Amino acid sequence: MDNINWVGRRVAVPGLGDLYSEACGPLYGPPVLLVMGAMNPGHLWPPGFVHALVQAGCRVLRYDHRDTGRSFVLPIDAPPYALDDLVDDAQRVLDAWGLPRVAVVGWSMGGYIAQCLAHKHPERVSHLVLLASSPDHRPYMAATLGRKVPADGLPGPAPGFLSGLLEAASRARGSPPEEVAVQGWAVFHGGSHPFPADLLREQTRAALASGHQPLAAMQHALAVDRAPPRTGWLPSLQVPTLVLHGADDPCLPLAHGRALADLISGARLTVLDMGHLLPEALAAPVGTQVADFIRAAEAV
């Protein structure tokens, strides 16, 4: 599945524990930080995507969010944390690896973190790549937490998405945890490419074997729900930005990607034949596109 030689490093979060991070690729290649979405460890980045970046000469860095993978897990009664705490975690990872400035690729909630990192610390972000993300998470959070989605903003999830999640949970009841994960991911899939069930099953097994606790990261959703939207300050960003969004994204419909591209000055939008999940068929081509974008922006 993933035969790249990763080098791991623990990253201290004072008073709480350690984050797990790892890097691969040419030591002095253009550095790229991959920031995963909510409730998932960095291990779930598609191998084809990572391989394409490495083959293009990039130094790739990924990490496990707090409460995921091999990073620390907080007690259930611990004080809640904020999205800004997750942004600070990303900065800690960069500091631990001695990387003053990197291209940041954020997927879904990872895209929220990437946007905030570029806003709070613009000197640290050379390029911004936002995959299946949004400038305003409120419609999605309202729908998934049982609130009414405002009619005057970006759209909430596609019809049938929430019922699909409930049906998937019902079908998977009593199944091994990797099968529960595969059933859940299937609801996020879209487009004409095959659903990568076998890869996701293998990735989930590996994550669970490393200590990942799927329910521990429910705090991610609460942290996002408490955060303000980013629409007010996104036009002030001055960083080359590539927005990648699925034409059939069921939880953050395409309007979210278009809004990102409209709000960020000079941003480019590529619409992909996918949902919220990057399928195997697109992983390597999209990785190559990201590497080409980084090189082209560096040359300007």
Q: Which of 108, 126, 133, 134 is catalytic?
A: 108
Mean predicted lDDT score pLDDT of the chain: 94
pLDDT at position 46, please? 96
In a domain, 97, yes or no: yes
Q: Which domain holds residue 268?
A: 7-299
Question: Residue 54's Cα: distance from chain center in Å?
Answer: 19
63/19 Cα distance (integer angstroms): 7
132: left (phi over 0), alpha (psi -120 to 50) or beta: left
Give how many domains the chain has, as a whole number.
Answer: 1
pLDDT at position 152, please? 86
pLDDT at position 81, please? 96
Write out residues in the chain with pLDDT < 70, as ranges: 1-2, 172, 297-300
pLDDT at position 76, please? 86
What is the CATH classification number for the domain harbouring 45? 3.40.50.1820
Q: Which of 88, 89, 136, 249 is catalytic?
A: 249
State yes or no: is 95 an active-site residue.
no
In a domain, 2, yes or no: no
Contact, 274 vs 247, CB < 8 A?
yes
In a domain, 27, yes or no: yes
In a domain, 1, yes or no: no
State yes or no: is 108 an active-site residue.
yes
Please tell me the pTM assigned to this model: 0.96
pLDDT digits (tens, 9 = 90+) for 221-239: 999 999 999 999 999 999 9
State yes or no: is 249 an active-site residue.
yes
pLDDT at position 88, please? 98
The position carrying tokens 């920031």 is 35
Q: Which of 51, 127, 193, 276 is catalytic?
A: 276
